[in-house]
Amino acid sequence: MPERILNAATKMSELTTAKVNAIQNVTKAAKILALNALIEASRAGEAGRGFAVVANEVNNISQEVTAIANELQALFVNEARDLRATAHMVRGSRLSDLALYVIELIDRNLYERSCDVRWWATDSAVVDACANPDDPKALAWASKRLGVILDSYTVYLDLWVADRHGKVIANGRPDRYKVRNIDVSGEAWFRQAMATRDGTDYAVADIERNKYLGSKSTATYATAIRAGGEADGEIIGAMGIFFDWESQADSVVHSVSFPEEEKERTRVLIVDRNFKVIAASDGMHGPDENLKLKIGNPEMDSYLLGDGSLVAYALTPGYETYQGLGWRGVIVQEPRKADVGPKLATVRSVAPEMVRTERLAS
């Protein structure tokens, strides 16, 4: 529907211009004829006086027709501009809804991660390992148990168990990731896990590359491991689970379905609270790409850029007990090639204050 409105506005504008030009060409010819008639009437003297009156009247009518044609053109230009504005508003609303879909999909996914970490921290093998960090059998059983979990939950790179001092004592993929005995006491996720108020609480870290997991980007969720697996038990360690952000986020930004004509000029992104791009459907974002969003309505909105591109965004609404991290789903759609060119003068008049999307130098 928005594309139909844009097409109608473009055709109306082009047709109006063509017809008004034709009218103006006719009136120019009439004015020339009237001028020639006045010259001939002047030469004829008294006998040509009546003809001069007719010539003057033709000239006056030509001027009136020109004025009407100009008013008609201005009217249709305004109507075409309003139609374009309506089309962009409808298209912006649609893309904002899709941006909300993207961020809601991520929220629901990450809500499950927050549930997983709190559940697995009460597993008897995990609790026993932290209660007996010097018992090789307890540690081996915990690693085996974590491996079984990973076989069923393919969205994780690894699961770690650290003792109360921050030493990793077990992980689910010891053959792939050699993390046993590393010190994570300085890591934010560990410190936050150890500071959780009870077994219902959890910590989540921003997306970052983990050097111990092949430098892959991870979403880390953590919570304290408590004595006896009780919600109010003494803290005896911490569990960190590492969500495979790259592959999972990629599937989310590609989950939005666009017609073939739109797909090639549309970019779907997820940005964090600082507008850092953490996922992009074109896979072209760098580690330091930031999106300069013009925030109107903080929840969701859309706006035009100077080049005719449309930017739509939606703020994370959270899901269940997961409050979200201030992330946004964003969709940037370039104009169709047919709409690029002189027609953009009208677009700019609709929204001259729009800012551009920029990639900042790393």
CATH number for the domain spanning 55: value is 1.10.287.950
Split into its structural domains, the chain has a count of 2
Q: What is the pLDDT of residue 306?
A: 86
User: What type of residue sits at position 103?
Assistant: I
Residue 159 maps to a domain? yes
Q: Quick one: 237 and 121 in the same domain? A: yes
Contact 225, 239 (CB under 8 A): yes
Helices (H) and strands (E) in the chain, counts: 8, 11
**Per the structure block, which two tokens stand in for 254?**
């590609």
Query: Quick one: 49 exposed, middle or buried, by C-beta within 10 A (0-12, 13-18, 19+)?
Result: exposed
Residue 48 maps to a domain? yes
Digit-coded pLDDT (tens) for 37-59: 667 667 767 666 666 666 676 66
**Considering 248, 266, 288, which residue would you say is the last residue of a domain?**
248
To the nearest whole number, what is the mean pLDDT of the chain?
82
User: How would residue 86 be classed by pLDDT, with cut points 50, 70 and 90?
Assistant: low
Q: What is the pLDDT of residue 242?
A: 97
Given a cut of 70, is residue 8 above it in pLDDT? no
Look-up of token digits 């952000």: 245
**Per the structure block, which two tokens stand in for 284?**
């072209």
Given a cut of 50, is residue 345 above it in pLDDT? no
Q: Quick one: 122 and 244 in the same domain? A: yes
Look-up of token digits 């077990």: 170
**Per the structure block, which two tokens stand in for 308?**
């005719």
Digit-coded pLDDT (tens) for 62-77: 677 777 777 776 666 6
Q: Quick one: 69 and 119 in the same domain? A: no
Q: Quick one: 67 and 139 in the same domain? A: no
Q: Quick one: 52 and 142 in the same domain? A: no
Would you report the helix, strand and coil content of the chain in percent, each value rounded to 5? Answer: 50, 20, 30
Residue 325 maps to a domain? no
Check which CATH number belongs to the domain holding 197 and give it: 3.30.450.20
Is 0.85 surpassed by the pTM of this model? no
Long-range contacts at 218-222 (CB < 8 A, ≥ 24 apart): 218/157, 218/242, 218/243, 218/244, 218/245, 219/110, 219/113, 219/243, 219/245, 220/189, 221/110, 221/113, 221/114, 221/116, 221/117, 221/189, 222/117, 222/189, 222/190, 222/192, 222/193
Digit-coded pLDDT (tens) for 228-248: 999 999 999 999 999 999 999
Q: Quick one: 22 and 77 in the same domain? A: yes
**Per the structure block, which two tokens stand in for 197?**
């108020």
Residue 335 maps to a domain? no
Averaged over 142-155, what is the pLDDT?
Answer: 95
User: How would residue 3 be classed by pLDDT, with cut points 50, 70 and 90?
Assistant: low
- The domain in which residue 10 lies consists of 2-84
